[in-house]
Structure 1
Amino acid sequence: MKFRVVTPFLAALLMAAVCVSVFAVPRSQIQDVYKWKPEHIYSTVQKWEEDVQALRTGLDALAAFKGQFSGPSAKNPAESLIAYNQLSEQLKIKYELLEAYCSYHFHVDMGDAEWVGRSQQMEDLSRIFNEKTSWFEPELLTIPRATLMHWVDANPALQTYRKTYEDMFLLQEHTLSEPEEQILAQAGNITETAADVFGKMTNVDMRWGYLLDEKGDSVQITDEGWTSWRVSQ
């Protein structure tokens, strides 16, 4: 996913740098200027949910390109590759916007069951994205390098991806077969479980002690607050 909006992590660091005590007061008392504004991405949750469904539909369309670059079904492979790349980039942007909107809401209160569920939904969509496209590189690697590079030379719309394809061939011996790549994509939820559990435990369930801030006030320690307190000393 190459498209990036300002991440919640970066926003949290900026907020921490401005004021340590911001973590010691209820969110309702924090000035709006220091709050994320996810409504700039989606005006309502309903619009977000509509785009979630649009992404699912788009991923099915992306998977339908399988076999159009190599093999008996590949009638216009270069044109199909251009269309695939265009749709893939559009869906990556859509995913990043969906994930950012969800993440901003989720990190306001990581114990909010509604946004916990939506956050898990985004994790599932990431896995589905990888699974639906796991066949892509194995199929391209069945095409002779000279042939693929000829397509790139002959089509300006593919020239942006020249370095990507060159790197793909350099790593060819480390690329698994299509079934094996699909297994790896499906294993995403398993490999991320430990980090998810740790994050929920430290951000929701665990309660930290207290320290004195730069004003001498007693504030409860949080991950962000501890980092900013150390910087302020």
Structure 2
Amino acid sequence: MASIAMEPVMLVDGGFSTQLSLYVGNCVDGDPLWSAKFLETNKQACIQAHRDFIRAGADIIITNTYQASIEGFKDYLNLDKEESIELIKESVEFVKKAIALELGDDSYGDQRRVLIAGSVGPYGAGLHDGSEYRGEYVETTSPDTMIAWHTPRIEALLEAGVDLLAIETIPALAEAEVLLNLLKKYPKAKAWLSFSCKDEEHTSHGERICDAAARCWSVNSNQLVAVGVNCLHPSYV
């Protein structure tokens, strides 16, 4: 039998907020900014949590920006737009520092390289009402509104030097298409995209996962490296 060529398996880090809680206590859940608050209020804890995952063998570290947004930082940290953008960029520097502290020059040598994925959470995460697990907001929110919300976050992550984007917990195909079309403005960028799901076959908004994945590839196969699912009950996988 002919051997089947397989791409090497890469290990992504785990739940950042859970690991962060070891250093900041049980004050992450319930905060409107979730773990992104600590980009400003406890920078060393963020770096340490990233270091833990590198030490555990992760090949890809995701930035602590899932719930980060210009509007959120303005409302809950009293930062202006420029300060918010700089804080998002700083999240990437935290990962770079963690890599340097754990691996030194080896992180860019032949032995081991750790990649940085910039976390891009859904528009619904900024609504603070669990919408990322339902997705009904795509029925009343225009593509232009979502583009305006996502663009400064994505640009900040790319300018800070992430290796790719981790577009996470997207509840509806409509928002996935908005993001994949937006990505075309940055032709050198790569991304993976994962959906939140309500059962074994459907996204949170109700599209069939197989159809949604196929549509994503048709929209932007040049920049999309993978389509998957995340933040769902393990029995659905």
TM class, shorter-chain normalised?
under 0.3
- When normalised by structure 2's length, the TM-score is 0.24
Larger Rg belongs to: 1
- Whose relative contact order is higher, 1 or 2, with alpha carbons under 8 Å and at least 6 apart? 1
Between Structure 1 and Structure 2, the one with more helix by share is 1
Between Structure 1 and Structure 2, the one with more strand by share is 2
- When normalised by structure 1's length, the TM-score is 0.25
